[in-house]
Copies of this chain bind each other. A is one copy, B any other.
């Protein structure tokens, strides 16, 4: 195998984890299988990550940066709350669709709850997402377009289930839900709760 820098190898390894999860399922992300998919020896994996756990940690950091980052951008832009909500939902669903392995990896880690640090990282990701949604809702209320008697946190909770359900349907039944359509339909429902 030709030599590559640690930076490049780390990206390859993290990508391989997500690809394997999406293609073969979670139980196949052994370091052996990982090395095989990249075309590298198993020892080389441990040249670029000290432990397997650190690979997972790296992926979680990517989610925190990429997904949360892009969602934050949407929320912070000066736009109408209704438009932001729609874009937010679509972006969220799109990201999960394009990184199918991620939801499974995240919630598997939650379910295994062996590792406090990973659990804390996941908690952080979910918390930040919730705060962004709460902010959007409150902005909409300030704009005067949404019912001020709704509890922003309740909206955040019911919202969080949407991308998760989408992902589960996607895993169980690959062509179960049309993403664009799905996005707009769920948006309509949420809006009905929010409207005056």
Partner-B contacts on A (CB < 8 A): 21, 25-28, 104, 107-108, 110-114, 119, 122-123, 126, 151, 154-155, 157-158, 160-162, 164-165, 168-169, 171-173, 177, 185-186, 188-189, 192-193
Bound-complex Cα distance A126 to B110 (A): 21
Q: Shortest beta-carbon distance, A115 to chain B, in Å?
A: 9
Q: Shortest beta-carbon distance, A160 to chain B, in Å?
A: 5
Q: Which chain B residue has the least Cβ–Cβ distance from A157?
A: B165
Bound-complex Cα distance A110 to B107 (A): 11
10 smallest beta-carbon distances between A and B, as pairs: A161-B161, A104-B111, A25-B113, A161-B165, A27-B112, A25-B112, A26-B111, A26-B112, A192-B193, A160-B165
Q: Which chain B residue has the least Cβ–Cβ distance from A186?
A: B158
A110 adjacent to B161 (CB under 8 Å): no
Q: Shortest beta-carbon distance, A120 to chain B, in Å?
A: 9
How many copies altogether? 2
Inside 8 A of A119's CB, which chain B residues have their CB? 172
Q: Which chain B residue has the least Cβ–Cβ distance from A165?
A: B161
29 A–B contact pairs at CB < 8 A? Answer: A25-B111, A25-B113, A25-B114, A26-B112, A26-B113, A27-B112, A104-B111, A107-B107, A107-B111, A108-B111, A110-B168, A113-B171, A119-B172, A122-B172, A123-B172, A126-B172, A154-B186, A157-B165, A157-B177, A158-B162, A158-B186, A158-B189, A161-B161, A161-B164, A164-B164, A164-B165, A164-B168, A189-B193, A193-B193
Bound-complex Cα distance A27 to B118 (A): 15
A111 adjacent to B172 (CB under 8 Å): no
Inside 8 A of A25's CB, which chain B residues have their CB? 111-114
Inside 8 A of A113's CB, which chain B residues have their CB? 25-26, 171
Q: Which chain B residue has the least Cβ–Cβ distance from A177?
A: B157
